[in-house]
Structure 1
């Protein structure tokens, strides 16, 4: 199987599975506990039908939108995800370059493997910095200042990860950073020698967003311990309100799921929220973002920009979210599988296919721009 054989989400997933050692693939692929929420994220879109209009004159289709003051050419963006150079040695460099080519926004994680400063210098498209709330308040301020110094306009605080989810696939393989693999996990790496050579012979793996502030090397700290020891489970709305004021620009909360929390985010001055259950990787049994979208848009859609992520695999999924009032839709596994499959060409192929799907589907729906997508075009089973 080659990149040219990849025509959809599932094809990229299959090719990624062939390229990656099983523990690395499972880190991308897996969810928490019984993985119920992981499966329901995509299934939620299947319970919604599109009702197209015809004879609307749709020779020209405009996919652009504005999110938290950032104008982008597509209504999808590349969500911030951790550890990308484990999936392909280009990592975030491939992701950012592909996003720039398609004129869309990309996010850089606190657990990213390329520095936000380097990416901001190289690429002109909007960049979002995603970070976590630490026990050390000075560290939080230092990380925000580093983002300002890098020229980043939008901060995205993840609020659903004050502790790590129970990801049992990782427990079975022993996956962690640094590696603490079980014997079965080690054997899986031996079956993918090309990945191992890239990991050993190319640029040394690092976490540059954190390396300046935390010792993440050697035996000092695994990713699991980072979540359990460094992040602050006592975080509350007053803490976040102070961060919003300190940042002084567009501030977004990722991981909001209830109407009450959405209203609180608007009250403290957030420019946007991402409805998200962290791709089914945190609280198993959580409601899906798509199922929560309508009531949250009805409650606060006139006060801030609403985005969603989780389970998005098709252009029709994007149209359904936009019709309910989402300003943009975040992609996660969709581009990570493509990255693992073929680096930058993989991510570009995925984005090209997503762009073609959205364009074609909008024509079939009889709409010329995403503002013409409205709830009346949907029916729920």
Structure 2
């Protein structure tokens, strides 16, 4: 074997192979460009946000089992790609609830959003409009219906409705959203009372934020958050006439556990656009709602923030699609952290998906620019997954592209009867 011939490197050759990266002195742009995944944005958000506000977003109810299972369900997807198909370009556009979306996902409704980062819903609505996807404003949002419309004047705005104890508040919000040109109403049915948000209780998270020795210590390395909070307009809620207490206490004071199908009928009579029921968690309710004429349903366990151990929406999706998929449009949320999760959901029959935490991680990481980064990351992942599956458009995705590897399955019941 001949020895390798060595020589001293020539300066010109060194310059060719050693290119120094141009430094970026813009801290926000630098940290956002370094984020390649939603989990990266999550880590940045945690560094930049006080624990109470971050945990309100990041946490779920009780033992957070529902959220863990939802994320595990997406991790347990096995894809089945085709081969030798031209995917030099892919089409990610779709139609949902009577209108277009450039991507198969939109921004979900989130409450108390300006507590996460002061730009709040205005950043989300603006980013959604720029990307050509829908934005959903929550009843418990911290920006007004009219301000969201101004931030996204030509895009699609949706409104999520809770039925409050004071019905006139809910009815007034419906009328304002319709007047502002919002085209779809999400009637949310999974929150008769607040779930047990244990992180919030342990952190003493309240509206408005209450200072303690712990919150002060936690705030020291995050002065920018407090500067933004204290130097921007006071938090205001379109649906809450008074604040003061934990989020759970506020929800319990505002929500009405007696809501029924009669309330759905009333809201339908007030709303001129598409009406979608959010928070559906079984096949039977899906069938009943579709028979009642709703335009769509969102399979959701509220991001695991209400009933812990609730059904995993992604696991429930195939059964609901078989039952009502030809009669109504089905969307899904909870646990989506990657564009591959979105593609898998579409393949299994969902018409659309909604992102909540992923959007808020971007918001906390960098305001409007951070939301833009969330959308860019998910878009890249959706397009790349479609190309690797070798499908050119969303309509080509079918259940044959996905196997749901399921770690949890119902235990078989024995035929034995318990004797009296």
**Match of residue 216, structure 1, among 242, 260, 263:** 242
Match of 2:204 in 1: 174
SS at match of 1:52: coil
Displacement of 1:182 in angstroms is 5.1
Other structure's SS at 1:112 match: coil
Corresponding residue SS for 1:2: helix
Match of 2:118 in 1: 89
Match of 1:280 among 304, 308, 317: 304
* Aligned 8 A contact 2:200 2:246 in 1: no
**Structure 1 residue 10: deviation in Å?**
1.1
Distance in 2 separating the partners of 1:267 and 1:115: 33
Question: Is the 8 Å Cα contact of residues 122 and 151 (structure 2) preserved in structure 1?
Answer: no
> Offset at 1:4?
1.9
Selected match of 2:84 from 34, 55, 67: 55
Structure 1 residue 380: Cα displacement = 2.9
Contact conserved, 1:174 with 1:181, CA < 8 A, in 2?
Answer: no
Within a 5 Å distance, the mapping from 1:192-341 to structure 2 comes to: 192-207=222-237, 209-210=238-239, 214-217=240-243, 219=244, 223-341=247-365
Instruction: Please list the CA deviations of residues 107-160 of structure 1 after superposition, one character each: whole Å capped at 9, or x if unmatched.
Output: 011111111212213321111111201122222221111111111111111111
Is 1:112 paired with 2:141? yes
After TM superposition, list the pairs within 5 Å mapping 1:126-145 onto structure 2.
126-145=156-175
Give me the whole-angstrom Cα distance separating, in 1, the residues matched to 2:279 and 2:351.
Answer: 16
- State how far apart, in whole Å, the 2-side matches of 1:61 and 1:262 are: 32
Residue by residue over 1:16-51, the C-alpha shift from the partner in whole angstroms, topping out at 9 and shown as x without a partner, is 011001111111111111111111111001222110
Does 2:101 match 1:72? yes
CA distance in 2, matches of 1:137, 1:91: 26
| Corresponding pairs, count | 375
Give the one of 138, 151, 172 matched to 1:122.
151
Cα RMSD (Å) of the superposition?
Answer: 1.5
Residues of 2 paired with 1:299 and 1:242: CA distance? 26
Equivalent-residue separation in structure 2 for 1:127 and 1:379 (angstroms):
34
Query: Does residue 202 of structure 2 align to residue 159 of structure 1?
Result: no
Question: TM-score of the superposition, structure 2-length normalised?
Answer: 0.86
Unaligned runs of at least 5 residues, structure 2: 1-29, 406-420
Equivalence for 2:26:
none
Greater Cα shift, 72-81 or 244-253 = 244-253
SS of equivalent to 1:329: strand
Question: Does the 8 A contact of 2:336 with 2:358 survive in 1?
Answer: yes
Q: Which residue of 149, 155, 180 maps to 2:179?
A: 149
State the distance in 2 between where 1:239 and 1:198 align.
39
Kept in 2, the 8 Å contact 1:175–1:181? The answer is: no
Residue 207 of structure 2 aligns to a residue in which SS? coil
Structure 2: distance between partners of 1:73 and 1:181: 43
SS in 1 for 2:137: strand
- Relative to structure 1, the CA distance from residue 138 to residue 289 in structure 2 (aligned partners, 3 Å threshold; closer, same or farther) is same
Larger radius of gyration: 2
Deviates more, 1:121-130 or 1:330-339: 121-130
Report how far residue 181 of structure 1 moved. Answer: 5.2
Q: CA deviation at 1:346?
A: 0.9
Which sits farther off after the overlay, 187-196 or 157-166? 187-196
Q: CA deviation at 1:204?
A: 2.0
Q: Output the CA distance in 2 between the equivalents of 1:182 and 1:171.
A: 14
Is residue 372 of structure 2 the alignment partner of residue 343 of structure 1?
A: no
- 1:12-27 correspondence runs (5 A): 12-27=41-56
Where 2:242 maps in the other structure, the secondary structure is: coil
Return 140-149 or 334-343, whichever deviates more: 140-149
What does the per-residue CA deviation read over 1:197-249, in whole Å, with 9 as the maximum and x for residues that have no partner? 11111222222x22xxx4225x4x65333321221111112221232233132
The answer as to whether partners of 1:51 and 1:378 remain within 8 angstroms in 2 is yes
| Whole-angstrom distance in 2 between the partners of 1:202 and 1:89 | 7
* TM-score normalised per structure 1: 0.95
Q: Hey, what's the Cα distance between the residues in 1 that align with 2:279 and 2:60?
A: 15
Which residue is equivalent to 1:37? 66
Query: 1:216·1:222 contact (CA, 8 Å) conserved in 2?
Result: no
